[in-house]
Amino acid sequence: MSRIYNFSPGPATLPEDLLKQAQAELLDWRGTGCSVMEMGHRTSEMIALTKEIENDLRELLTIPSHYHVLFLSAGASAQFAFIPMNLLRGKRTADYCLTGHWSQKAIYEARRYCDVNIATDSTDNLFTNIAPINEWRLNRDAAYVHYTPNETIAGLEFNYIPDTQGVPLVADMSSNILSQPLDVSKFGLIYACAQKNIGPAGMTIVIVRDDLVGQALPETPTLFDYAAQAKEGSMANTPPTLSWYFAGLMFKWLKQQGGLAAIATINQRKAAKLYAAIDQSSLYQNSVATAYRSIMNVPFVLKKPGLDEQFLQEARAAGLGYLKGHKLVGGMRASIYNSMPEAGVDALIEFMQRFEENN
Ligand code: PMP
């Protein structure tokens, strides 16, 4: 058996040592005589695990004590609805930044619950740039401002945290959470699905400031009510325990790597060399404004037509998998999350240069 370098956008590659640890623990987790998948979520072992993963996440992100940390299910897309349900707090409007496919989906869902004010819109530049914040149309009466710090499909990433003048800032960090240190205190709410930088799909993390919970719309189902989930320790029903376990392994792995500052240095280096290889070539192209190029998702096209399929096949034969771009934008996309070793990026660059020479 040989593992490939897997550039999938999500569910994404995981560190090999974590997979081996999970394999070793599968039949007997921590001396319990059973796997973590076979254990009641209210057992003392699982309650201890919950505390452990919350503490490790709090330590990694230096989450202030007046924030709840929730481990929920139903994916990041479910939060597109849960956020207005929980955060409107009697208000009728919310601001949204339209910078790509995922923010578009969040807007579509929010419109069921409130008037959406589009504060900035990158549609005209095909989601390759972000207007300066002094050109945004922010509404002082908005319940919150929602944005997507990293648009996974177009590879467009904010290089700053928007100052929303006291209106709570809500961020969909599905594809860049834990990729660099973060000042959580600048946010009202942060959410992220697990399947990119955390572990297998099935869990969504919500980090929410205390004062924003407790005023959900009356029709909000209990499971979708942040206050109810906070009260129940994210166990208002049976949680996706295997995803929780893997998140725990990942948080420990990140701490072993030296934490988020250390992983950010590696991430910057990986992305910089890949973008440099693209920019120096005459075959490959990335059209995103340089300042907003994603550190996690690097889309590129081949300027010479008719080569895409050959590129993907030869890459796969060279042990480089899942490089096909999203159907909305075509071309290629290399997702290089925390778990992608630098050697994987080096191998991709080497392959791309060889492919260019041969074609
Ligand atoms: N937001 C972003 C930025 C994403 O990249 C994704 C998944 N690719 C989602 C939301 C949706 O996540 P899920 O499939 O868990 O609902």
Burial of 148 (0-12, 13-18, 19+ CB in 10 A): buried
User: 150, 157 in Cβ contact below 8 A?
Assistant: yes
User: 45, 32 in Cβ contact below 8 A?
Assistant: yes
The DSSP-derived string for 88-104 is -TT--EEEEEE-SHHHH
* Residue among 99, 150, 152 whose CB has most ligand 1 atoms within 8 A, to mutate: 152
- Residues having CB closer than 6 A to ligand 1 are 10, 75-77, 102, 148, 152, 172, 174-175, 193
Active site residue 115: no
How confident is the model over 55-97, as pLDDT tens digits? 999 999 999 999 999 999 989 999 999 999 999 999 999 999 9
d(CA 156, ligand 1 centre) in Å: 14
How confident is the model over 171-223, as pLDDT tens digits? 999 999 999 999 999 999 999 999 999 999 999 999 999 999 999 999 999 99
d(CA 175, ligand 1 centre) in Å: 8
Q: Whose CA is nearest to atom 3 of ligand 1?
A: 174
How confident is the model over 263-320, as pLDDT tens digits? 999 999 999 999 999 999 999 999 999 999 999 999 999 999 999 999 999 999 999 9
Cα–Cα distance measured from residue 320 to residue 114, given in angstroms and rounded to the nearest whole number: 44
Cα–Cα distance measured from residue 212 to residue 40, given in angstroms and rounded to the nearest whole number: 31
Whether this model's pTM surpasses 0.75: yes
Active site residue 29: no
User: 338, 296 in Cβ contact below 8 A?
Assistant: no
Name the CA radius of gyration of the chain, rounded.
21
Which position among 56, 172, 225, 244 bears the catalytic label? 172
For the CA of 100, the nearest atom of ligand 1: 3
d(CA 246, ligand 1 centre) in Å: 18
> What 3 state SS string does 145-214 have?
EEECCEECCCCEECCCCCCCCCCCEEEECCCCCCCCCCCHHHCCEEEEECCCCCCCCCCEEEEEEHHHCC
Q: Give start and end residues of each alpha helix (H) in the chain.
A: 16-25, 44-61, 75-87, 101-110, 226-231, 241-256, 259-280, 308-317, 342-358
d(CA 24, ligand 1 centre) in Å: 30
Q: Which phi and psi (to 5°) does residue 129 adopt?
A: -155, 165
